[in-house]
Amino acid sequence: MPASPTLEDVARAAGVSRATVSRVINGIRNVDPAIQETVRQAIAATGYVPNRAARSLVTRRTGSIALVVSGAGEESEENPFHSQVFADPFFGRVASGVVGFLRPRGIHPTLMFAETDETRAQAIAYLRQGNADGAILVSTEARDPLPRLMVEASLPAVLFARPPEPIPISYVDLAHRTGAKLAADHLIARGRRRVATIAGPLDVPAAQDRLSGFRDAMAAHGHPYIPCAEGDFTLASGEAAMERLMAEHPGIDGVFIANDLMAQGALPVLRNHGRRVPEDVAVVGFDDSSAATASRPLLTTIRHPVEDMAAEMTRLLLAYVDDPDRAVTSVIFEPSLVVRDSA
Amino acid sequence: MPASPTLEDVARAAGVSRATVSRVINGIRNVDPAIQETVRQAIAATGYVPNRAARSLVTRRTGSIALVVSGAGEESEENPFHSQVFADPFFGRVASGVVGFLRPRGIHPTLMFAETDETRAQAIAYLRQGNADGAILVSTEARDPLPRLMVEASLPAVLFARPPEPIPISYVDLAHRTGAKLAADHLIARGRRRVATIAGPLDVPAAQDRLSGFRDAMAAHGHPYIPCAEGDFTLASGEAAMERLMAEHPGIDGVFIANDLMAQGALPVLRNHGRRVPEDVAVVGFDDSSAATASRPLLTTIRHPVEDMAAEMTRLLLAYVDDPDRAVTSVIFEPSLVVRDSA
DNA sequence: CGGACGTTGGAGAGCGCTCTCCAAGCATGC
DNA sequence: GCATGCTTGGAGAGCGCTCTCCAACGTCCG
What's the Å distance between residue B110 CA and nucleotide D13 C1'?
34
Test B52 with A324 for CB contact under 8 angstroms. Answer: no
Amino acid at A16: V
Rounded average pLDDT over B13-20 = 86
By percentage, how much of chain B surpasses pLDDT 90? 59
Task: For residue B294, give the nearest of A109, A112, A264 by CB distance.
Answer: A264
Q: Which residues contact B295 (CB under 8 A, 6 or more apart)?
A: B260, B263, B264, B267, B285, B342
User: Which residue in A86, A105, A234 has the most chain B C-beta atoms within 10 A of its own C-beta, making it the best mutation to test that interface?
Assistant: A86
Is B93 near chain A, with CB under 8 Å?
yes
Rounded average pLDDT over B247-254 = 96
pLDDT per residue as tens digits for the range A160-173? 999 888 899 999 99
Count Cβ–Cβ pairs < 8 Å, chain A vs chain B. 134
CB atoms within 10 A of CB B158: 29
User: Which residue in A82, A151, A267, A303 has the most chain B C-beta atoms within 10 A of its own C-beta, making it the best mutation to test that interface?
Assistant: A82
With vertex at residue B269, the alpha carbon angle to CA B267 and CA B275, rounded to the nearest 5 degrees, is 80
Q: Establish whether the CB of B3 is closer than 7 Å to any nucleic acid atom in strand D.
A: yes
The Cα A218–Cα A199 span in angstroms is 15
R_g of chain A, CA atoms, integer Å: 26
What is the biggest distance separating any 2 CA atoms in chain A, rounded to whole angstroms?
Answer: 86
Test A113 with B99 for CB contact under 8 angstroms. Answer: yes
pLDDT per residue as tens digits for the range B76-110? 666 777 777 777 778 889 998 999 999 888 889 99
By percentage, how much of chain B surpasses pLDDT 70? 96
Average pLDDT, chain A: 90
> In A, which residues are within 8 Å of B154 by CB distance?
1-2
**pLDDT at residue A332 tops 60:** yes
Q: Which residues contact A48 (CB under 8 A, 6 or more apart)?
A: A4, A5, A6, A7, A9, A10, A42
By percentage, how much of chain A surpasses pLDDT 70? 96
Test A113 with B93 for CB contact under 8 angstroms. Answer: no
Q: Could you tell me if A109 and B110 are in contact, meaning their C-beta atoms sit under 8 angstroms apart?
A: yes
Give the pLDDT of residue A31. 77
Report how far apart the first and last C-alpha atoms of chain B are (Å, whole number): 60
> Which nucleotide is nearest to B59 if distance is taken from CA to C1'?
D18
Is B116 near chain A, with CB under 8 Å?
no
> In A, which residues are within 8 Å of B103 by CB distance?
82, 113, 119
Give the pLDDT of residue B78. 67
The Cα B143–Cα B163 span in angstroms is 8
Test B51 with A109 for CB contact under 8 angstroms. Answer: no
**pLDDT at residue A177 tops 50:** yes
Please report which confidence band the pLDDT of residue B4 belongs to, taking 50, 70 and 90 as the band edges. confident
Q: Establish whether the CB of B28 is closer than 7 Å to any nucleic acid atom in strand D.
A: yes
Give the pLDDT of residue A38. 86
**pLDDT at residue B297 tops 80:** yes
R_g of chain B, CA atoms, integer Å: 26
Q: Could you tell me if A200 and A209 are in contact, meaning their C-beta atoms sit under 8 angstroms apart?
A: no
Task: For residue A129, give the nearest of B51, B103, B126 by CB distance.
Answer: B51
Rounded average pLDDT over A171-184 = 98
**pLDDT at residue B70 tops 90:** no
pLDDT greater at residue B126 or residue B141: B126
Give the pLDDT of residue A77. 63
Is A54 near chain B, with CB under 8 Å?
yes
**pLDDT at residue A92 tops 60:** yes
When mean pLDDT is compared across A32-46, A167-181, A263-277, B18-32, the lowest value belongs to B18-32
Q: Establish whether the CB of A16 is closer than 7 Å to any nucleic acid atom in strand D.
A: yes
Is A240 near chain B, with CB under 8 Å?
no
What's the Å distance between residue B54 CA and nucleotide D18 C1'?
9
Nearest Cα residue to B242 out of B213, B203, B283: B283
SS3 for chain B is CCCCCCHHHHHHHHCCCHHHHHHHHHCCCCCCHHHHHHHHHHHHHHCCCCCHHHHHHHHCCCCCCEEEEECCCCCCCCCCHHHHHHHCHHHHHHHHHHHHHHHHHCCCCEEEEECCHHHHHHHHHHHHHHHCCCEEEEECCCCCCHHHHHHHCCCCEEEECCCCCCCCCEEEEECHHHHHHHHHHHHHHCCCCCEEEEECCCCCHHHHHHHHHHHHHHHHCCCCCCCEEECCCCHHHHHHHHHHHHHHCCCCCEEEECCHHHHHHHHHHHHHCCCCCCCCCEEECCECCHHHHHCCCCCEEEECCHHHHHHHHHHHHHHHHHCCCCCCCEEEECCEEECCCCC
Test A52 with B2 for CB contact under 8 angstroms. Answer: no
What's the Å distance between residue A23 CA and nucleotide C27 C1'?
24
SS3 for chain A is CCCCCCHHHHHHHHCCCHHHHHHHHHCCCCCCHHHHHHHHHHHHHHCCCCCHHHHHHHHCCCCCCEEEEECCCCCCCCCCHHHHHHHCHHHHHHHHHHHHHHHHHCCCCEEEEECCHHHHHHHHHHHHHHHCCCEEEEECCCCCCHHHHHHHCCCCEEEECCCCCCCCCEEEEECHHHHHHHHHHHHHHCCCCCEEEEECCCCCHHHHHHHHHHHHHHHHCCCCCCCEEECCCCHHHHHHHHHHHHHHCCCCCEEEECCHHHHHHHHHHHHHCCCCCCCCCEEECCECCHHHHHCCCCCEEEECCHHHHHHHHHHHHHHHHHCCCCCCCEEEECCEEECCCCC
Average pLDDT, chain B: 90
pLDDT greater at residue B309 or residue A164: B309
> In A, which residues are within 8 Å of B71 by CB distance?
none
Q: Minimal Cα–Cα distance from B75 to chain A, Å?
A: 12
The Cα A144–Cα A137 span in angstroms is 10
Q: Establish whether the CB of A61 is closer than 7 Å to any nucleic acid atom in strand C.
A: no
Q: Which residues contact A326 (CB under 8 A, 6 or more apart)?
A: A319, A320
Strand order in the sheet with B282-284: B228-230, B195-199, B254-257, B282-284
Give the pLDDT of residue B240. 97
- Strand D, nucleotides covered by protein (CB < 7 Å): 7-12, 14-20
pLDDT greater at residue B180 or residue B152: B180
pLDDT greater at residue A306 or residue A20: A306
Is B56 near chain A, with CB under 8 Å?
yes
Q: Minimal Cα–Cα distance from B246 to chain A, Å?
A: 18
Task: For residue B86, give the nearest of A92, A130, A294 by CB distance.
Answer: A92
Give the pLDDT of residue B1. 41
Q: Could you tell me if B328 and B156 are in contact, meaning their C-beta atoms sit under 8 angstroms apart?
A: no
pLDDT per residue as tens digits for the range A237-279? 999 999 999 999 999 999 999 999 999 999 999 999 999 999 9
Nearest Cα residue to A204 out of A304, A71, A330: A71
Sort A228 into a burial class: Cβ within 10 Å, 0-12 / 13-18 / 19+.
middle
Rounded average pLDDT over B202-228 = 95
Give the pLDDT of residue B74. 56
By percentage, how much of chain A surpasses pLDDT 90? 59
Give the pLDDT of residue B253. 96
Rounded average pLDDT over A53-58 = 91
Give the pTM. 0.89
User: Which residue in A128, A270, A273, A289 has the most chain B C-beta atoms within 10 A of its own C-beta, making it the best mutation to test that interface?
Assistant: A128
